Amino acid sequence: MAHWNILCDFDGTIAIEDATDALLERYAHPDWLKLERDWREGRIGSAECMAGQVALLNASREEIDTQLAGLRIDPAFPAFVDAVNAAGVTLRVISDGLDYAIKSILRRYGLEHLPVQANHLVQTGPRSWKLETPFADAHCRVNSGHCKCSSAVRAHNKHRRVLLIGDGASDFCAATEADFVFAKHRLIEHCRHADIPHVSIVGFADAIGLLPALLAGKLHTPRRTLAAERISS
Ligand SMILES: [Mg+2]
Ligand SMILES: [Zn+2]
């Protein structure tokens, strides 16, 4: 039976809302939207975008905590974590969002034990913050804060396959490096266009249902085989 490392996006995948956007909408100078537009239109990478946005935050730690306390996760995610643990599979959260937000939300659901790789939110004054990007990569093709493609490459070894679970643009490059993808939202279309082996899911209730088939090797087809099928057909 193949062993798997699961890499799981946070905002929009585990968390229903985008925690970073929720903080920016409430507490950042409106110029954060200009940076957001520059990122969406490809003029800057997410590293530059988020560093600029976090610098525009004007909020105390208490205010940030209050805002985070209102954010929810997919109600089936805790049961998915249980199923994954029972199967001896590792799961790590890989996010281009904010570690402080992710850890605070996961703690509320008793999931603080999950390993998290994300951008680091640092308080620099009573109401000021800055972003550090410990998982950035100088060679990142899309200049992400967290280069998820590098994280996906590192999660591979000769004993483990990589399953990516994600929903959006920050997952596109990692999807290319994964052996299989559980895709939500915009990531579905991306996997379809890029010929990445995937199934589409609405949420973690679907992921729980798919896990036994994945572990039994019934979902995953090695890419070499897929390519060979395309050539011979
Ligand atoms: Mg996401
Ligand atoms: Zn990258």
Which pLDDT does position 142 carry in this prediction? 86
**d(C-alpha 178, C-alpha 165), whole Å:** 10
Number of the ligand closest to the Cα of 168 = 1
By the 8 A CB rule, do 179 and 81 touch?
Answer: no
- Residue 182 is classified by DSSP as E
Determine the topology of domain 3-232 in CATH. Answer: Rossmann fold (3.40.50)
**d(C-alpha 230, C-alpha 10), whole Å:** 34
Nearest to 23 by CA among 36, 42, 38: 36
- For residue range 2-57, list pLDDT tens digits in order: 689 999 999 999 999 999 999 999 999 999 999 999 999 999 999 999 999 999 99
Number of neighbouring beta carbons within 10 Å of residue 87: 14
Number of neighbouring beta carbons within 10 Å of residue 45: 18
Which pLDDT does position 2 carry in this prediction? 61
By the 8 A CB rule, do 53 and 37 touch?
Answer: no
**Which residue(s) pair with 7 in the sheet?**
92, 164
Nearest to 13 by CA among 218, 212, 206: 206
C-alpha distance from residue 104 to each of 65, 98, 113 (Å): 8, 10, 12
Residues found in the chain = 233
Q: How many whole angstroms from 39 Cα to the centroid of ligand 1?
A: 15
Chunked in runs of 10, what are the mean pLDDT values of the chain (233 residues)?
87 96 97 97 95 98 98 98 96 97 98 98 98 94 91 83 95 93 97 96 98 90 48 44
Quick check: helix, strand or coil at residue 10? coil
Tell me which residues have their CB within 5 A of the ion that is ligand 1. Answer: 9, 11-12, 167-168
The one-letter amino acid code at 46 reads S
By the 8 A CB rule, do 43 and 139 touch?
Answer: no
Which pLDDT does position 232 carry in this prediction? 44
Q: How many whole angstroms from 167 Cα to the centroid of ligand 2?
A: 16
Which pLDDT does position 30 carry in this prediction? 97
Helix (H) or strand (E) holding 23: helix 19-27
Q: How many whole angstroms from 156 Cα to the centroid of ligand 2?
A: 16
Phi, psi of 177 (to 5 degrees): -95, -10
Q: How many whole angstroms from 167 Cα to the centroid of ligand 1?
A: 5
Quick check: helix, strand or coil at residue 83? helix
DSSP strand E in the chain: where? Answer: 3-8, 90-98, 116-125, 128-132, 160-166, 180-183, 198-200
Residue extents of the structural domains in the chain? 3-232
Q: How many whole angstroms from 17 Cα to the centroid of ligand 1?
A: 9
